[in-house]
Structure 1
Amino acid sequence: MKKYTFPICTFIYLCFFLSAHAQQTMPLTSSSDDAKKLVGSGMMHLVNVEYEEAYDDFDDAVKLDPNFALAHFFKGRLSFGESRTKCFAMAQQAAANTTDAEKLLVSVADTSLNQKGRHEIFAKLHDMYPEDPVLEDFYVMSEPDSTTRVKLLEEQVAKFPNSPEVYNQMGYYYMMARKDNTKAKECFEKYLAMYPDGYNPYDSMGEYYLNTGDKENAKKYYLKSLERCPSSFSSQTKYQELTKDDKK
């Protein structure tokens, strides 16, 4: 199990994130404070699309507290096949001894739900804890209608200007939907400035440069991402594709 060592910017971000949880956001029911810290770290990575690090955090949290419902739930969201099914089953079983909010979040694991059904659950959670930045992210990104989702995203940026991940989402919106590369770059640069110790900001900058045809800068930023997380699947795939001709 990994030790809790974070670069200073990540540590500050995590402290802000966890202090918010202590005051006004959804509770985390666990017998282990270290497991709670890991789930907090995992959710930070999750909303920043750093799935590899998020999975490791949730997996370690489960090892510390096998009855931690949300650790099983989030691990399940990042798993596949039988592992996913097992994680969700354990989350639902463990949720019996948690708060109503945690039970509601775990109910998202119901495979019969469509996107609208999942969004309705996140909307209820959002109403319960309107100051929770992670629940806000789930609420916004689960919105089925793309036009409404953009409006909610703009409101999210205004509401949580100190949350780095919202600038990543806005960057992709400008780059992919609006075809406004100037605005997209501004958002990605702000994301990187706010979260320099993460690896997804570099992956997003790589995506921006790849999308604008600047393969050399794309390679540079994908490599920076891999320096921070060698297991990043997205950066690995793109970097290998961009450098395959260099090896001939």
Structure 2
Amino acid sequence: MKNLSLLILLFGFQAVQAQGYYLPVSTDSDAAKQYYHDAINSAQNANIRAYHESIKKAVKEDPEFFMAYAHSALGMMGLNQYAVFEEMADKALAIPESQLNPAEKSMRKALEILKSDAKGDLSPVFSELVTAYPNVPQVYDLGLFVNYWINNNYQAAVENGKKLVKLNPKGEGGYNMLGYAHMKVGDMKSAKSAFKKYIKLAPNEANAFDSMGEYYMNVKDYKKSVQYYEKAAELGMEVSRERAEEVRLLISASK
């Protein structure tokens, strides 16, 4: 599901098992860190309500948890929720820079750029992160998100997505948004392959089937689109039921 999947991009694509997936965070609270990881898991599969609840718990445990605020701010920018972006960015920027690690200082620069210009060039920030953390998947997670949702540079999003899944091949959500990036550049064959991988890695995840339903809708295979949307609905994603009905209307109109 595209509109919710942007937060999947931002907050992580894996099953959140290996610590090596993440950029370092400066919180000393194990509870805050666990809630942050829980948030990433929830966003990965488009459970946005659970994501927000976990972020709130994380910053309650550590009111100066910079990365939680920063990621939430970027997500709101991607959704064009500028007022909420400002709120979360201000909370992140209020934390003294002296308390931040190098990765967080780079993220701080990103927030400052976006506060000045919602379409500001973040490439210098990500160059810093790639140089400092070339094998950390979350760097490419962020690059994919920013290029897709903020800069609309879909080819760059594809390249970041490829690096992400290479470093984290079992991270199901990475294939999800890589699939959307492929669709944006017109590579439907690669998009389908990415969505198939998502379903293979997460066979009980409703969002995986919803995404494939959107793929088939885009290639105008409406019957298969309905099938995948209905499967997503069976697995608990109610909005997929509405999408299935919308596609049925397209089928009726094409007769």
TM-score (norm 1): 0.72
1:60-75 to structure 2, matched below 5 A, reads 60-75=57-72
Deviation, 1:159, is 3.5
Deviation, 1:91, is 1.1
1:184-223 to structure 2, matched below 5 A, reads 184-223=191-230
Determine helix, strand or coil for the equivalent of 2:24.
Answer: coil
What is the aligned partner in structure 2 of residue 166 from structure 1?
174
Describe the shift of the 1:241–1:157 C-alpha distance in structure 2 as closer, same or farther (beyond 3 A): same
What is the aligned partner in structure 2 of residue 241 from structure 1?
246
**Cα displacement string for residues 53-107 of structure 1 (whole angstroms, at most 9, x for unaligned residues):** 4333222322332221112222233443433322211111125322122132133
Letter in structure 2 aligned against 1:84 = F
Letter in structure 2 aligned against 1:69 = F
Match for 1:76 among 68, 73, 77? 73
Deviation, 1:237, is 6.1
Q: What is the CA–CA distance in structure 1 between the aligned matches of 2:145 and 2:84, rounded to whole Å?
A: 25
Q: What is the CA–CA distance in structure 1 between the aligned matches of 2:236 and 2:91, rounded to whole Å?
A: 29
Q: What is the CA–CA distance in structure 2 between the aligned matches of 1:57 and 1:112, rounded to whole Å?
A: 29
Q: Which runs of 4+ in 1 moved over 6 A?
A: none
1:110-149 to structure 2, matched below 5 A, reads 110=112, 111-113=115-117, 115=119, 117-143=121-147, 145-149=153-157
Match for 2:39 among 13, 32, 42? 42
What is the aligned partner in structure 1 of residue 109 from structure 2?
107
Q: Does 1:92 align with 2:97?
A: no
Letter in structure 1 aligned against 2:168 = F
Q: Which shows bigger deviation, 96-105 or 37-46?
A: 37-46
Letter in structure 2 aligned against 1:99 = N
Deviation, 1:15, is 1.7
Q: Which shows bigger deviation, 236-245 or 64-73?
A: 236-245
Deviation, 1:36, is 0.7
Describe the shift of the 1:191–1:89 C-alpha distance in structure 2 as closer, same or farther (beyond 3 A): same
| Contact 2:157 2:181 (8 Å CA) reproduced | no
Q: What is the CA–CA distance in structure 2 between the aligned matches of 1:119 and 1:47, rounded to whole Å?
A: 24
How many pairs were matched up?
Answer: 227
Q: Does 1:180 align with 2:188?
A: yes
Q: Indicate the structure whose relative CO is greater, using CA pairs within 8 Å and at least 6 residues apart.
A: 2
**Cα displacement string for residues 134-178 of structure 1 (whole angstroms, at most 9, x for unaligned residues):** 112212443565445444444444343233233223423444423
In structure 1, runs of 5+ residues without a counterpart are 1-11
Q: What is the CA–CA distance in structure 2 between the aligned matches of 1:99 and 1:229, rounded to whole Å?
A: 40
Determine helix, strand or coil for the equivalent of 2:94.
Answer: helix
Q: What is the CA–CA distance in structure 2 between the aligned matches of 1:99 and 1:57, rounded to whole Å?
A: 23
Determine helix, strand or coil for the equivalent of 2:130.
Answer: helix
Letter in structure 1 aligned against 2:20 = A
Describe the shift of the 1:133–1:77 C-alpha distance in structure 2 as closer, same or farther (beyond 3 A): same
* Pairwise CA RMSD: 3.4
1:221-232 to structure 2, matched below 5 A, reads 221-226=228-233, 230=237
Q: What is the CA–CA distance in structure 2 between the aligned matches of 1:42 and 1:83, rounded to whole Å?
A: 18
